[in-house]
Structure 1
Amino acid sequence: MITPIEMVIFDCDGVLVDSEVIAARVQMRLGAELGWPLTEAEVVELFIGRSEASNHAVVAERLGAATADLWRKRFVELHAEAVDAELAPVAGLPEALAAITLPTCVASSGSHEKMRHTLGRTGLYEHFAGRIFSATEVGRGKPAPDLFLHAARTMGVDPAACVVVEDSLPGVQAARAAGMRAFGYAGGLTPADRLAGPGTVVIDDMRKLPELIGGYQGCGTRGMWSPDR
Structure 2
Amino acid sequence: MHYDLVIFDNDGVLVDSEPISNTLLAAYLTELGHPTSYEDSLRDYMGAAMHRVHDLVWERSGQRLPEDFDEVFHGRVFAAFERELQPVAGVVDVLEKLTAAGVAYCVASSGSHERIRVGHRKTGLDTWFDDERIFSSQDVGRGKPAPDLFLYAAERMRVAPGRCVVVEDSPLGVRAAVAAGMDVYGFTAMTPAERLRGARALFGDMGELTRLLE
Aligned to 1:168: 170
Aligned to 1:128, what secondary structure does the other structure show? coil
The one-letter code of the counterpart of 1:180 is M
Quote the Cα distance in structure 1 between the aligned partners of 2:54 and 2:18: 17
Aligned to 1:45: 43
Contact 1:96 1:208 in 2 (8 A): no
CA drift of 1:208 comes to 1.1
Aligned to 1:225: none
Q: Unpaired runs of 5+ in structure 1?
A: 215-229
Aligned to 1:107: 108
Quote the Cα distance in structure 2 between the aligned partners of 1:126 and 1:134: 18
The alignment's TM-score, normalised by the length of structure 2, stands at 0.92
Contact 2:135 2:149 in 1 (8 A): yes
Matched, 1:207 2:207: yes
> Where does 1:6-21 land on structure 2 (aligned, <5 Å)?
6-21=4-19
CA drift of 1:60 comes to 3.8
> Where does 1:7-86 land on structure 2 (aligned, <5 Å)?
7-61=5-59, 62=61, 64-65=63-64, 67-86=65-84
Aligned to 1:150: 152
The one-letter code of the counterpart of 2:79 is E
The one-letter code of the counterpart of 2:204 is D
Quote the Cα distance in structure 2 between the aligned partners of 1:69 and 1:165: 33
CA drift of 1:63 comes to 5.9
CA drift of 1:206 comes to 0.6
Quote the Cα distance in structure 2 between the aligned partners of 1:148 and 1:104: 12
Quote the Cα distance in structure 1 between the aligned partners of 2:121 and 2:158: 26
Aligned to 1:69, what secondary structure does the other structure show? coil
The one-letter code of the counterpart of 2:192 is P
Contact 1:14 1:20 in 2 (8 A): yes
CA drift of 1:92 comes to 1.3
Aligned to 1:226: none
Quote the Cα distance in structure 1 between the aligned partners of 2:68 and 2:156: 35
Q: Unpaired runs of 5+ in structure 2?
A: none
Quote the Cα distance in structure 2 between the aligned partners of 1:69 and 1:183: 37
Quote the Cα distance in structure 2 between the aligned partners of 1:107 and 1:4: 20
Contact 2:2 2:213 in 1 (8 A): no
Contact 1:10 1:164 in 2 (8 A): yes
Quote the Cα distance in structure 1 between the aligned partners of 2:171 and 2:118: 24
Quote the Cα distance in structure 2 between the aligned partners of 1:209 and 1:191: 17
The one-letter code of the counterpart of 2:140 is V
CA drift of 1:96 comes to 1.6
Contact 2:169 2:187 in 1 (8 A): yes
CA drift of 1:35 comes to 0.6
Quote the Cα distance in structure 2 between the aligned partners of 1:13 and 1:23: 9
The alignment's TM-score, normalised by the length of structure 1, stands at 0.86
CA drift of 1:171 comes to 0.3
Query: CA offsets, 1:115-142, max 9 Å, x none?
Result: 1101111011231112100101111110
Quote the Cα distance in structure 1 between the aligned partners of 2:113 and 2:30: 28
Aligned to 2:128, what secondary structure does the other structure show? helix
CA drift of 1:39 comes to 1.9
> Where does 1:88-107 land on structure 2 (aligned, <5 Å)?
88-100=86-98, 101=101, 102-107=103-108
Contact 1:30 1:71 in 2 (8 A): no
